[in-house]
Every structure is written in structure tokens, then in C-alpha cells.
Amino acid sequence: MPTVLSHAVAATAIGAAMIPPPRLPVWGLGALCAVLPDLDVIAFALGLPYGHVLGHRGLSHSLPFAAGLALVATAVAARRRLDAGSSALRLWAFFFVATASHGLLDAMTSGGFGIAFFAPFSNARYFFPWRPIVVSPIGIGAFLGHRGLEVMSSELVWIWLPAAAVVFGCWLTRRGRATSRRPL
């Protein structure tokens, strides 16, 4: 799995593309949606095996979970009036993509048992054929030292730099549109 920071960075880039202009409260809620699937690590403390549907990378990493969490996040955003400029459907789509990005990024890592994209309907686990992201160890102690440096270097190349390019590209596009609308 990538680190929680990288999941949040990816969600922010998705927000830049889907919910313009900068809507920091909505992007923050999207980042939270992207991080929440990893709360399933408590399954280890509860004695559930990794491959259990409620285990790590199981139900909370699935597309149905992303759809449900997107509904909850959309209701929270509407209730708190976080973004009056976007429709409920647009907000739901953003929260869905932000949450689903967690499983998609995890499916590109070099370790683990794969992602149960279709749980609870199927507990089959999947990886993508291309897996360039170095898997992050579970727990802070294992992350310190050389292993953590290797993980962060990988995430910088495969998540942070592409996310920065998306944000910068969105900013340039919006800036160009604003400039072209100015009267001569």
C-alpha cells in the first residue's frame, strides 16, 4: 500500500481536476475518503486474517465501499455547505473517484495479497500487471530507515510528481480560460 500521505495527495489532484477552482474543504473531505480504507488494518488486532473479506485490502478497498462512502461524504458536504458551486452528482463522483483511487493505487504496489475490488460480492483479490509502487510496511517502526526512504522515493516518482503535474495542468488550463475571456 502507498502511505496515507500519498493517498491524500492523489485525492487532492483528483479534486483539482473534478472540483474547480480550489475548494479546500471539499478536497480535504476527498483526501479523508482516500485515506479511510486503510482503517481496515484494525482487522489484524481483531484476529481477522489478511485474506478475510473484512481484512486488509478487503471490503474497505472495494468499489461498492467507495460508492457508499461517496454517498456519506456528499451528504456531509451538502449539510455543511462545503461547496455550493458543485452539484450533488459531481460531488458524489469526486468522492467516489477519490475513495476508489485508494484501491487502484494499492493494486499498483509490489506486495500484499491484492485488492478485493468487488467485495462483498466477491473476495477475489487483484493486482494490476504493472506494479511500480514500492509497498509501504504496516506500522511506523518498519517505515523508519532505509525501507521508508525506498517507499517515499517510489511514491514521489509514481504518485506525488504526477499529482503535482495534474494540479499544475488544471491551474494552467483554468488560467488560460480566464485570460481568453477578458475583453480586449
Q: What angle do CA 8, 13, 11 make, to 5 degrees?
A: 30
Let me know if 128 is exposed, middle or buried by CB neighbors in 10 A (0-12, 13-18, 19+): middle
DSSP 20: -
| Single-letter amino acid, residue 124 | A
Rounded CA-CA distance 130/24 in Å is 32
In terms of Cα–Cα distance, which of 3, 111, 16, 102 is closest to 59?
Answer: 102
- Range of 50's domain? 4-181
Write the pLDDT tens digit of every residue in 24-63.
Answer: 899 999 999 999 999 998 998 899 988 899 999 999 999 9
Rounded CA-CA distance 76/81 in Å is 8
Sequential pLDDT tens for the chain (184 residues): 689 999 999 999 999 999 977 688 999 999 999 999 999 989 988 999 888 999 999 999 999 999 999 999 999 999 988 876 789 999 999 999 999 999 999 999 998 889 999 999 999 999 999 999 999 887 776 667 788 889 999 999 999 999 999 999 998 998 877 676 666 5
| pTM attached to this predicted model | 0.91
DSSP 135: P
Task: Work out how many domains the chain is built from and give that number.
Answer: 1
Query: Which DSSP string do the residues of 34-69 spell out, in sequence order?
Result: HHGGGGGGHHHHTT--TTSTTSTTSGGGSHHHHHHH
pLDDT at residue number 177: 73
CB contact set of 10 (below 8 Å; sequence gap of 6+): 2, 34, 98, 101, 105, 159, 163
